[in-house]
Amino acid sequence: MRGCPVNDTITGLENALGSGALKNPRLRRIGEEILDLVKDVAWGRAGNDHIFAISHLANDIVESADDKNARQVGQTIASAVNVHKEVFESHVQTHNCATGDCVRLAPAPCQMACPAGIDVPTYVSLIALGKDAEAIEVIRKDNPFPWVCGLVCTRPCEFMCVRGRIDTPVSIKYLKAFAAEKALSDRQYKNPEKAPDKHQKVCVIGAGPGGMSAAYFLALKGYGVTVLEAQPVAGGMMMLGIPRYRLPREVIDREVAMIEELGVEFKYNTRFGVDVAYDQLKADGYEAILLAIGAHSAYTLNITGEKDFPQVFDAIDLLRNVALGHRKSPGKRVVVIGGGNVAIDAARTSLRLGSEEVIVAYRRTRHEMPADIEEVEQAEEEGIRFSFLTIPVEIVGQNGKLEGLKCIRADLVSREGSSRKVPVPMLGSEFIMEVDAVISAIGQCVDQTCTACICDLTWSRRTTIDVEMASMETSIPGVFAAGDAVTGPATVVEAIGGGKRAAEAIDRYLSGIPQPKMPPVPVRRQRVEWLDVPAATKMALKRPEMPLLNIERRRTTFQQAELGYSENQAREEARRCLRCDICRRCGRCVEVCRDEMEIDALNFGYLDFDHPFKTDFRVTEEKCILCGACAANCPNNAIVIEDRKGERILNFCGTILNRQKLLYCDSCGAVIGPARYHDYVTRRLGTLTPKTGKQKLCEVCARKTSAEILNF
Amino acid sequence: MVIFRRGQRVAVYKKSEDEGWEDYMDAYIGAHGIITDPDTSKNDPDDLVEVSLDGKGTHRFPQDCLKLLED
């Protein structure tokens, strides 16, 4: 990837000013003004007039230059702005530098990891400051479902959280839920401003997270959006696939209501391909269509007896029926087949419906289970049993009544040339699991029948809709797709990210702008000032445990199992954030301190992504002399040194690494730094140290006094 | 082939011949990342798995282009 032209312009201009290419004092002043303006662009603080002003001043240099070098400087700047105008504008409008060269505008790892591209450090910092509504405002620039994601997101951000390389990741997911709940409770949860009406209509098929996210962003852009939904409620898999003890219905309803408030029209009980056809939508004036139909069909077990008994059904059906209000227990003894999240959800739901014994049968071991570990642990606490290395063979029963599930024990065996172990049945190990209901949870796929009315729609070999992932365009112009229909059964936040990309692509399509060839880079929304936290506190703060509903209620009701953080827990947790939106982890500070100053006070083991080692911010205070070399060499002002109230303080993104009392010159009263720094300088100068007796003197007074002593 | 689990460090070490590999992914060869969502239901070696790449965003990749990094 090429460098950023904004950053290149800064480097070129600094070199020109440093080398004396602008000799004329007036032109030199203009050059310095341009440098300030371009730095504003690079730092995300430029306004709409900046680019014009840079161009105007550069042309002024060209016209007024009295030598070749100065003219060339002006021409280079004018040309950079002219050729790369879009990139300059992108820096101003989106506060984003795609190359990451303009370090202030490069997203933090957590933001980069989020499929929806939420500016995590900004909203976490706002939560630390108690500004929950502002935090939600930031989240909703990229994701219309902060509360839903705060409860059910798979949190890729936390896996990339740099704090996790020190102890545990910041609890980003739960902080989001806390802020959403608080903002809603305070009646401060608001929609962003809508763009003027574009008088163009878009139809979204499916009211799941992908479809509704697209609807939200399209409505904000000024499009008229209609969402068709086959079910009587909005939410898709969030509503029908995720049980209420994990995601209460009110949470979905409240966030859907915010989308409705933007003017999005929902048509329920309307099945695409049955009640409405593709041609009809085109005839009705919809200029673009988004297919967000989800993956609601279940794979079958393909074992004998599967179709013969009404007590055998798939997990998706069970969860859907329960979500729609059915409360009939599937049976007294239930076995759920599968090892994913849906299997765990079906098992825990059966328990809450009154089943006395629920077993999850999985063909591999606990180690290979793809379900979230927290979900598995909670299920076990609630009394769900697991039968590992168990392969279902046959459904057993007579006269239409299920009697059991015949299974065979498995052994995990490595195949030649592969380290992936495969479950192989152990001969003669068959046994009958006596149950009165069998629930299959071995995966879902996209139901292709509803799209039969769209000729020429192409599908991948994984039976998902074939799209360009950067733009979500299908094989048919004007038809886009997002969510599980594209990815297969995936995550809520991935569907939201896909919906957002699709909305952007639909806007481009309807505006006649070419589609991008790469997925977009997340956009920085703000740069919130950091919050001062002593190093000892930063290290001592621990990620809080999520309080849970008592076990009896969890086993018997659909009340929300995770009770959420208290306000104090949330504020404290938010203060653990390392502010990676400011520190880029280049390691320059560590190198300077260790190699040039030979002090080695910054032991930041977390800077290494692949091989992180121990980090302890408290160690800095033991060695640091507060010389400021680290701060002087930081390219992003992430580490600063300042004199405040008689102390010199070393502050690293809000973490107070060291603070020492300042010494003042006995003669003139000037600051001479902390004693440790003074001693270090004295030691390094050795015999060259001016003779000052017992006095603590600044450099100037010391020289003067030394000269006086020597003259005598 | 290995079974990928959430939280494992991986590298995109080669281009995949799978149709799930798109041209823009060529830029990610050599990048390191963390598995954030393996296939959540089946442990199917054919499924696309979600990986957060250091500094390059979160994407779904065919499994044959990924290798585990030693801790």
Structure tokens given for A260: 């409705």
Query: CA–CA separation, B16 vs A67, rounded Å?
Result: 55
Query: CA–CA separation, A120 vs A579, rounded Å?
Result: 9
- Minimum distance, in Å, between the CA of residue B46 and any CA atom of chain A: 9
CB B53 within 8 A of CB A521: no
Query: CA–CA separation, A340 vs B26, rounded Å?
Result: 31
Query: CA–CA separation, A343 vs A347, rounded Å?
Result: 6
- Minimum distance, in Å, between the CA of residue B47 and any CA atom of chain A: 8
Query: CA–CA separation, A500 vs A519, rounded Å?
Result: 11
Task: Dump pLDDT digits (tens) for A565-616.
Answer: 999 999 999 999 999 999 988 899 999 999 999 999 998 988 888 788 889 9
The helix (H) or strand (E) run that includes residue A476 is none
CB A407 within 8 A of CB A390: yes
Decide if A583 touches B, using CB distance below 8 A: no
Residue appearing with tokens 């149950």: A435
Query: CA–CA separation, A204 vs A530, rounded Å?
Result: 41
> Which has more pLDDT, A187 or A700?
A187
Contact (CB<8Å) B54/A487: no
Per-residue pLDDT, averaged over A524-542, amounts to 91
Mean pLDDT rounded to a whole number for chain A: 91
CB A405 within 8 A of CB A303: no
Tell me the chain A residues in contact with residue B44 when contact means C-beta distances shorter than 8 Å. Answer: 443
Pairing of strands A437-440, A421-433: unpaired
Tell me the chain B residues in contact with residue A364 when contact means C-beta distances shorter than 8 Å. Answer: 43
Alpha-helical regions (H) of A357-442? 373-382
Task: Dump pLDDT digits (tens) for A363-400.
Answer: 999 988 888 888 999 999 999 999 999 999 999 999 88
Query: CA–CA separation, A341 vs A157, rounded Å?
Result: 19
Q: What pTM did the predictor assign?
A: 0.88
Residue A290: phi and psi, rounded to 5, are: -115, 125
Task: Dump pLDDT digits (tens) for A470-481.
Answer: 889 999 999 999
What is the percentage of chain A residues whose pLDDT exceeds 70? 98
What is the DSSP code (8-state) at residue A334?
A: E
Structure tokens given for A565: 């953080």
**DSSP secondary structure string for all residues of A521-582:** PP-----PPP--EEHHHHHH--PPPPPB--HHHHHH--S-SB----HHHHHHHHTT---TTT
The helix (H) or strand (E) run that includes residue A81 is helix A68-83
Task: Dump pLDDT digits (tens) for A326-366.
Answer: 999 999 999 999 999 999 999 999 999 999 999 999 999 99
- Asked whether the predicted pLDDT for residue A689 surpasses 70, the reply is no
Structure tokens given for A558: 């659909």
Decide if B69 touches A, using CB distance below 8 A: yes
- Asked whether the predicted pLDDT for residue A670 surpasses 80, the reply is yes
pLDDT at site A610: 79
The ipTM assigned to this model is 0.92
Residue A294: phi and psi, rounded to 5, are: 75, -175
Decide if B29 touches A, using CB distance below 8 A: no
Residue appearing with tokens 């087949």: A337
Burial class (CB in 10 A: 0-12, 13-18, 19+), A657: buried
Burial class (CB in 10 A: 0-12, 13-18, 19+), A541: middle
Contact (CB<8Å) A159/B19: no
- Asked whether the predicted pLDDT for residue A695 surpasses 80, the reply is no
Burial class (CB in 10 A: 0-12, 13-18, 19+), A179: buried
Structure tokens given for A481: 């797709």
Contact (CB<8Å) B50/A100: no
Most B CBs within 10 A among A120, A142, A160, hence the mutation to make, goes to A160
Task: Dump pLDDT digits (tens) for A157-197.
Answer: 999 999 999 999 999 999 999 999 999 999 999 999 999 99
- Asked whether the predicted pLDDT for residue A116 surpasses 60, the reply is yes
Q: What confidence category does residue A692 fall into, taking pLDDT thresholds of 50, 70 and 90?
A: low
Residue appearing with tokens 């360009």: A468
- Of the candidates B6, B40, B69, the beta carbon closest to that of A610 is on B69
Query: CA–CA separation, A574 vs A91, rounded Å?
Result: 28
Burial class (CB in 10 A: 0-12, 13-18, 19+), A706: middle
- Minimum distance, in Å, between the CA of residue B14 and any CA atom of chain A: 17
Query: CA–CA separation, A264 vs A467, rounded Å?
Result: 25
**Chain A 454-493, residues with CB within 8 Å of chain B CB atoms:** 460-462, 468-470, 487-491
Contact (CB<8Å) A339/B9: no
Please list, in sequence order, all residues whose beta carbon lies within 8 angstroms of the beta carbon of residue A423, skipping any fewer than 6 positions away.
A363, A364, A389, A391, A410, A411, A412, A413
Residue type, A595: D
- Asked whether the predicted pLDDT for residue A53 surpasses 50, the reply is yes
What is the count of residue pairs from A and B with beta carbons less than 8 Å apart? Answer: 118
pLDDT at site A2: 63
Give the range among A489-503, A507-521, A641-655 with minimum mean pLDDT: A507-521
No. of helices (H) and no. of strands (E), chain B: 0, 5
Contact (CB<8Å) B47/A488: yes
- Asked whether the predicted pLDDT for residue A1 surpasses 50, the reply is no
Give the range among A96-110, A236-250, A521-535 with minimum mean pLDDT: A96-110
Tell me the chain B residues in contact with residue A488 when contact means C-beta distances shorter than 8 Å. Answer: 47-48
Q: What confidence category does residue A682 fall into, taking pLDDT thresholds of 50, 70 and 90?
A: confident
CA A228 from centre of chain: 29
Burial class (CB in 10 A: 0-12, 13-18, 19+), A188: middle
What is the percentage of chain A residues whose pLDDT exceeds 90? 73
Per-residue pLDDT, averaged over A43-54, amounts to 87
Query: CA–CA separation, B52 vs A157, rounded Å?
Result: 8
Per-residue pLDDT, averaged over A269-280, amounts to 93
Mean pLDDT rounded to a whole number for chain B: 86
Give the range among A45-49, A178-182, A397-401, A672-676 with minimum mean pLDDT: A45-49
Largest CA distance in chain B: 30
